[in-house]
Structure 1
Amino acid sequence: MTVIGMGEKKTPETFRVSCERFIFLDVIESSEEDAEDTARRASQSAKKNSAKKKTETKKSKVQTQPSLPELPPVPAQATLSGSDEFLGYVPSDTEDEDEDSGITALSDIEAAIVKMITDNSADGKETGLGEIGSRLVKIFPDFDIRNYHYSKLSEFLKDFPSLQVTNRDNAVWVTLKSTPDTEVEKQIQSIFARHNTADMNISMLKSELQDLNPNLDATIRKSGVTRFSVYLNRKIPSVEVNGQRVSLKS
């Protein structure tokens, strides 16, 4: 039996996670209001255009009366102004709400997606958009992109700094962005500085570097190697690897 829950954002988390799927009523109401507002603005715009055409007709002494243009179908979750048009972004009165409004934190969602991609990569598999969507709902029963004012999952994912969304072979794929080697080098130097040392265990260095840079594995693979030690020797000129130790060059 599938358990689907519904409620407001103040619904206790213990109840939300106990459901296989949880839907926020706030999102449904907001979507309906956005659709009504969009339709109203489109209607007002059409009336203004009609009035303008009538005025121009009188000035040019044209006897035929222009007819009202047919309104195009209005997407339920799209806006008609500015850079938001067709980007899947849905403005809402709740846009400035605090992050503790009850929905899953973006950082938790990003971490879950990064783990999906990393695990798939270790198995030699790519990660598709559909897989991410279905797995996110299983991990976070209350996950709904409308909670974050989006209507398209692909556009939602594009705003994460660690993710890259590409269209290929009639499918949408999600990968981790690689980090420039110069930036990785700065991160490594900051780790050494934080420990006030010039020599570290390579496993410890990699672990702390991954905390700073979730894209580390993608960066290493993009460089053409698979081992962290080889990557350091080839791409990071300020360090030297000796067995299980990494040291800063003097």
Structure 2
Amino acid sequence: MEDKRYAVLIDSDNISSKYIGVILDEMTKYGVVTYKRIYGDWTSTQANKWKKELMENSITPIQQFRNTVGKNATDSTLIIDAMDILYTESVDGFCIVSSDGDFTRLASRLRESGMHVIGMGENKTPRSFRAACTVFTDLELLLDQSVDDASSKNEGKSKLKKKAENVISQKIIENDIIEIITENDNKGRETGLGEIGSRLQKKYSDFDVRNYGYSSLSTFIDETAAFDVKKKESTVFVALHSDKDMKKRVKKFAVDVVAEAGTKGIEMGQLGQKIHDEFPSFNVKEFGYATLSKFIYGIKDLKVETSGNNKKIVYIR
């Protein structure tokens, strides 16, 4: 199978020259770079830092004079070049290196034409551009990793120097993993580590466990209390951590609260709040329920009725 061919297009106005090494190293994971172009005004003093890197890495500089103060002509030139390369049908994908959200539409247009679009930028890059790419990687992560690799051979979790901005929270990622596992459980099948990684990447183009201080997805999941990781032959599977005692305690607490409310019962929302206050770490999704109300419906000692004003009231059965 032949390596895929990529065009790497760099916006020098928004990217520091210190990243060029890690950019090209990262691209070796995807295929062969056949175009290496960088855009900017090479008559400006700001571009001087790039000149050494251009020669050492055989990158073609594309000159764009600043015809109007405050306008970024580099963007237009890069976009035109990208479309010209697209129509040559000589590449399988593009790597757009910029922290500028103005390239969002370009990334979308390239993907509409069947291109694999890799985005790279600093952690300030807007979510719009991140989401438009097939894959997006924060350059700070790559640079930090290269420094760590040079100083030691650490495996597993590594301390990041700076938490990336505009990155999906770890809690949201964990909930997504729970939903994937629950969906498969309902279909009677196990969930592989590879499936989780693939589905998260499709949902969040910038998903990268390095954003959360880990070097591998398996370590990320293994250190999360909600999951159990097991290996069968050469395949790694992930399951929800089963804490039956927690489930029993929550059920008993819910029944006790409703019983204390007497014949008046208690509103579903109030009961849910009391459960949350008593068990702040309790997550119904870890037990296969989509919502807390579904969990309460499943408690055999309780019944739920709808009042005249459409409120859900919970009573002892």
Verify the 8 A CA contact 1:191 1:205 in the aligned structure 2. no
CA distance in structure 2 between the aligned counterparts of 1:248 and 1:111, rounded to whole angstroms:
31
Structure 1 counterpart of 2:157: 89
Superposed displacement of residue 101, structure 1: 2.2
List runs of 5+ in structure 2 lacking aligned partners. 1-114, 277-281, 306-312
Q: Are residues 205 and 177 of structure 1, via their aligned partners in 2, closer, same or farther at CA, if it must alter by over 3 Å?
A: farther
1:140 partnered with 2:201: no
Structure 2 counterpart of 1:169: 233
The one-letter amino acid of 2:225's match is P
Q: 1:9 aligns with which of 112, 120, 123?
A: 123
Q: 2:250 aligns with which of 179, 182, 186?
A: 186
The one-letter amino acid of 2:159's match is P
The one-letter amino acid of 1:126's match is E
1:217 partnered with 2:288: yes
Q: Percent identity?
A: 31
When structure 1 is superposed on structure 2, of 154-163 and 186-195 the one drifting more is 186-195
Structure 1 counterpart of 2:167: 103
**Deviations for 1:138-195, whole angstroms, at most 9, x for unmatched residues?**
1111011112221121110112221111112331100111222454433662587499
Superposed displacement of residue 231, structure 1: 7.1
TM-score when scaled to structure 1? 0.60
CA distance in structure 1 between the aligned counterparts of 2:246 and 2:151, rounded to whole angstroms:
48
Indicate the RMSD between aligned Cα atoms, in angstroms. Answer: 3.7
Q: Are residues 242 and 138 of structure 1, via their aligned partners in 2, closer, same or farther at CA, if it must alter by over 3 Å?
A: closer
Structure 1 counterpart of 2:186: 122
Pairs within 5 Å for 1:198-213 = 199=265, 212-213=283-284
**Deviations for 1:123-147, whole angstroms, at most 9, x for unmatched residues?**
1111000000111111111011112
CA distance in structure 1 between the aligned counterparts of 2:202 and 2:221, rounded to whole angstroms:
17
SS at match of 2:205: coil
More RCO (CA 8 Å, sep 6+): 1
SS at match of 2:236: strand
1:160 partnered with 2:218: no
List runs of 5+ in structure 1 lacking aligned partners. 39-74, 79-85, 219-226, 234-239
Q: 2:150 aligns with which of 36, 39, 45?
A: 36
The one-letter amino acid of 1:18's match is A
Q: Are residues 163 and 241 of structure 1, via their aligned partners in 2, closer, same or farther at CA, if it must alter by over 3 Å?
A: same
Verify the 8 A CA contact 1:179 1:215 in the aligned structure 2. no
CA distance in structure 1 between the aligned counterparts of 2:204 and 2:236, rounded to whole angstroms:
22
The one-letter amino acid of 2:137's match is I
Tell me which protein shows more strand as a share of its residues: 2
The one-letter amino acid of 2:131's match is V
The one-letter amino acid of 1:92's match is L
Q: Are residues 102 and 193 of structure 1, via their aligned partners in 2, closer, same or farther at CA, if it must alter by over 3 Å?
A: same
Q: Are residues 196 and 24 of structure 1, via their aligned partners in 2, closer, same or farther at CA, if it must alter by over 3 Å?
A: farther
SS at match of 2:129: helix
CA distance in structure 2 between the aligned counterparts of 1:192 and 1:18, rounded to whole angstroms:
50
Superposed displacement of residue 35, structure 1: 1.3
Structure 2 counterpart of 1:112: 176
SS at match of 1:215: helix
Verify the 8 A CA contact 1:162 1:214 in the aligned structure 2. no
CA distance in structure 2 between the aligned counterparts of 1:130 and 1:243, rounded to whole angstroms:
40
TM-score when scaled to structure 2? 0.49
Q: Are residues 187 and 127 of structure 1, via their aligned partners in 2, closer, same or farther at CA, if it must alter by over 3 Å?
A: same
